[in-house]
Structure 1
Amino acid sequence: MSRSASGSPFKAEEKAELARRLRDYLRDELGAEAGMLETEAFLDFIAAEIGNAFYNRGLFDAQAAIAARLEEATDAVYALEKPTRA
C-alpha cells in the first residue's frame, strides 16, 4: 500500500473525512469526545495495526472475482470448439 508524504496510507482529504466519520462514531455510539488530532492519531493506529488485514481480505476477494471470471472465459472458449472427425 503506498503512503503519502506524511506516512499515512490516505490522501489528506481522505484522512480528514475518515477522521470526521470516526470522531462522529466515537461520540454518537460510545459517548467518547475526541478532537481531530486525537482522532487522526487513532485512525493512523488502526491503519497501522489492522489495516493490512482489511487489505489482504480485499486482495482475497479480488482474486476470487478474477478466478470466477477466468472460469467463465475458459467455458466460453470451450464453447467455441468445433467437432472434428474421428
Structure 2
Amino acid sequence: MIELDARQKNIIVDKIKTYFDQELQQDIGQFDAEFLLDFFATEVGVFFYNKGIEDAKEVIEDQFQSIDMALMDIEEPEPF
C-alpha cells in the first residue's frame, strides 16, 4: 500500500470531497473520503506506483543513452 503523509492525505481527501460535490452533486464526509482514499491506495495504488517506477526508469535510460553518446563523441580512436 502507498503510504502518504498527513499533508498529502488531507490534500487528496479535499480533492475527493470536491469531486463528489462538483461532479456528482453528492456531499461526502471526511470519514467516507478517507475510507475511499484508503481503498484506492490499497487496491489500485500499486498500479500507479509501478507506472511511476516505469516512467522513472525510462527517463534514467534516456539519460544514460545521452551520456553514452556524449562519451562516444569525445572518445579518441586507438592506434592500431
Q: When the two structures are superposed, what TM-score results if normalisation uses the length of structure 1?
A: 0.85
In 1, distance between residues paired with 2:6 and 2:78?
62
- Alpha-carbon offset, residue 43 of structure 1: 0.5
- Which residue in 2 is equivalent to 1:40? 34
- Which residue in 2 is equivalent to 1:70? 64
RMSD of Structure 2 on Structure 1 (CA): 1.4
Percent identity at matched positions? 30
Structure 1: which 4+ aligned runs deviate by more than 4 Å?
Answer: none
Work out the number of aligned pairs and report it.
80
In 2, distance between residues paired with 1:58 and 1:83?
40
Unmatched segments (≥5 aa) in structure 2: none
Is residue 54 from structure 1 mapped to residue 48 from structure 2 by the alignment?
A: yes
Q: When the two structures are superposed, what TM-score results if normalisation uses the length of structure 2?
A: 0.91
In 2, distance between residues paired with 1:81 and 1:51?
45
Is residue 79 from structure 1 mapped to residue 73 from structure 2 by the alignment?
A: yes
In 1, distance between residues paired with 2:77 and 2:44?
54
- Alpha-carbon offset, residue 83 of structure 1: 2.5
Unmatched segments (≥5 aa) in structure 1: 3-8
In 2, distance between residues paired with 1:11 and 1:67?
30
More helix by share: 2
